[in-house]
Structure 1
Amino acid sequence: MQNYKLLGLALALTTLFWSCDTEDENAYTVPDTYNFENVSYDGQLQRLQMLLEMKNYLGSANTPGTVLTADRLKAMYANDTDNANWTLEYDASKQLKSKTFEQEQAVFEAMMEAIADNSTSTVPAAEGQAGVSVSTDGTKQYLLNEKGVELAQLIEKGLMGACFYYQSLTVYFGDDRMNVDNEDVVPGEGTAMEHHWDEAFGYYGVPVDFPLNKDGIAFWGVYSDRRDPILNCNQDMMDAFIKGRAGISNDDLKARDEAISEIRQTWETVTGATAISYLNTAVESFDDMAIRAHALSEAIAFTYAIQFSPEKRMTNAEVTAVLEDIAGSSDFTQMDLYNTTPQRLEAAKLKLADALGLMESKDSF
Structure 2
Amino acid sequence: MYTKLMNVGILSGIVLLFAACKNEGDDLGDENDSGVITTVSEIDYDFDVPATYVFTRDSETTVSFGGQSDRLYMGKEILGFFDVNTTKTAENVKSAFNHSENGNDFDDANLNESSKKIQNKVASSNDLNDAVFAAESQNLFISYIDKFFAEIVPSKDVVASKGVAGYVGEKPRYVNSKGMEYNQLFNKGLIGALVVDQVLNNYLGDVRVGNEEYIADNTNETLLEGENYTTYEHHFDEAYGYVYGAADNPIAPVAKGDDKFLFTYITQVNGMSAFSGIQDQIFSAFKIGRAAVVAQDYDVLEDAIEVLQYQISKVVAVRAVYYLEAGKNNLAAQEYESAFHGLSEAYGFIYSLQFTRNPNTGEAYLSISEVEALLSKLDAGDGFWDLTDGTVLDEISNTIADKFDFTVAEAAE
TM-score range (shorter-chain normalised) is 0.7 to 0.9
Deviation at 1:261, TM superposition (A): 1.3
Of the three residues 91, 98, 107, the one matched with 1:78 is 98
Which amino acid in 2 is paired with 1:130? A
Query: Hey, what's the Cα distance between the residues in 2 that align with 1:262 and 1:339?
Result: 39
Distance in 1 (CA, whole Å) between partners of 2:149 and 2:228 is: 40
Counterpart position of 1:120: 154
For residues 185 and 176 of structure 1, do their structure 2 counterparts lie closer, same or farther at Cα, with a shift above 3 Å needed? same
The answer as to whether partners of 1:39 and 1:188 remain within 8 angstroms in 2 is no
Q: Does 1:291 align with 2:313?
A: no
Report if aligned partners of 2:77, 2:106 keep a CA contact under 8 Å in 1: no
Match of 1:87 in 2: 108
Q: Residues 364 and 296 of structure 1: is their aligned pair in 2 closer, same or farther, counting only changes over 3 Å?
A: closer
Pick 1 or 2: higher relative contact order, CA cutoff 8 A, min separation 6. 2
Give per-residue Cα distances to partners, 1:191-211, cap 9 Å, x unaligned. Answer: 100000000001112434545
Give 1:297 deviation, angstroms.
Answer: 0.7
Paired residue secondary structure (1:163): helix
* C-alpha spacing 1:66/1:196, structure 2 compared with 1 (3 Å): closer
Cross-structure match for 2:230: 191
Q: What is the CA-CA distance between 1:278 and the residue it aligns to?
A: 0.7
Which of 277, 293, 308 is the aligned partner of 2:355? 308
- Residue 142 of structure 1 and its aligned partner are, at CA, apart by 1.4
Match of 1:34 in 2: 53
Q: Is contact 2:162–2:178 with CA below 8 Å preserved after alignment?
A: yes
In the TM superposition, what is the alpha-carbon distance from 1:106 to its structure 2 partner?
1.0
Change (3 A) 1:321 1:358: farther
Q: Is the Cα–Cα contact under 8 Å of residues 327 and 342 in structure 2 kept in the other structure?
A: yes
SS of the residue corresponding to residue 167 of structure 2 reads: strand
Q: Structure 1 29/168 Cα, relative in aligned 2: closer, same or farther at 3 Å?
A: same
Q: Which residue of 2 aligns with 1:355?
A: 403
> Partners of 1:364 and 1:115 in 2: how far apart?
30
Pairwise CA RMSD:
2.2
Contact 1:129–1:145 under 8 Å retained in 2: yes
Report the Cα distance in structure 2 between the residues aligned to 1:130 and 1:68, rounded to whole angstroms.
20
> Which SS does the other structure have where 1:143 is aligned?
strand
**Residues 240-249 or 280-289, more deviating:** 280-289
The alignment status of 1:158 with 2:189, answered yes or no, reads yes
Q: Which amino acid in the other structure matches residue 125 of structure 1?
A: A
Q: Between 88-97 and 312-321, report the one with greater CA deviation.
A: 312-321
TM-score after normalising by structure 1: 0.83
SS of residue paired to 1:89: helix
Q: Which residue of 2 aligns with 1:344?
A: 392
Could you report, residue by residue, the CA deviation over 1:223-250 in whole angstroms, capped at 9, with x for unpaired residues? 0011113312101001111111011111
**118, 129, 133: which is aligned to 1:96?**
118
Distance, in Å, in 2 between the alignment partners of 1:292 and 1:362 is 20
1:318 Cα deviation from its structure 2 partner: 2.8
**Any idea what the Cα deviations from partners look like across 1:300-334, whole Å, max 9, x if unmatched?**
11111111134332233332333233333xxxxx8
Unaligned 5+ segments in structure 1 are: 1-25, 329-333
Q: Which amino acid aligns with 1:350?
A: N
Secondary structure of the structure 1 residue equivalent to 2:263: helix
Q: Is the Cα contact below 8 Å between 1:124 and 1:132 reproduced in 2? A: yes
Query: Which residue pairs with 1:8 in the alignment?
Result: none
CA drift at 1:216 = 1.8
Identity score, percent: 29
Correspondence 1:215-364 to 2 at 5 A: 216=257, 218=259, 219-229=261-271, 230-231=274-275, 232-286=277-331, 287-311=334-358, 312-328=364-380, 336-341=383-388, 342-359=390-407, 361-362=409-410, 364=412
Alignment match, 2:41: none
- The within-5 A match list for 1:139-218 is 140-178=171-209, 179=211, 180=214, 181-182=217-218, 183-186=221-224, 189-205=228-244, 206=247, 207-210=249-252, 213-214=254-255, 216=257, 218=259
- Partner SS state of residue 270, structure 1: helix
Q: Matched residues in 2 for 1:128 and 1:335: separation? A: 6
Structure 1 contact 282–292 (Cα < 8 Å) conserved: yes
Inter-partner Cα distance in structure 1 for 2:51 and 2:166:
49
Letter aligned with residue 149 of structure 2: A
- The verdict on how the C-alpha distance between 1:360 and 1:116 changes in structure 2, with shifts beyond 3 A counting, is closer
Shift of 1:92: 4.2
Alpha-carbon distance between aligned partners in 2 of 1:358 and 1:272, rounded to the nearest angstrom: 9
Which residue of 23, 40, 47 maps to 2:71?
47
3-state SS of paired residue (2:383)? coil
**Match of 1:17?**
none
- Matched residue pairs, number? 326
Counterpart of 1:20 in structure 2 is none
Letter in 2 for 1:84: D
Residue in 1 aligned with 2:28?
A: none
Give the superposition deviation at 1:185. 2.4
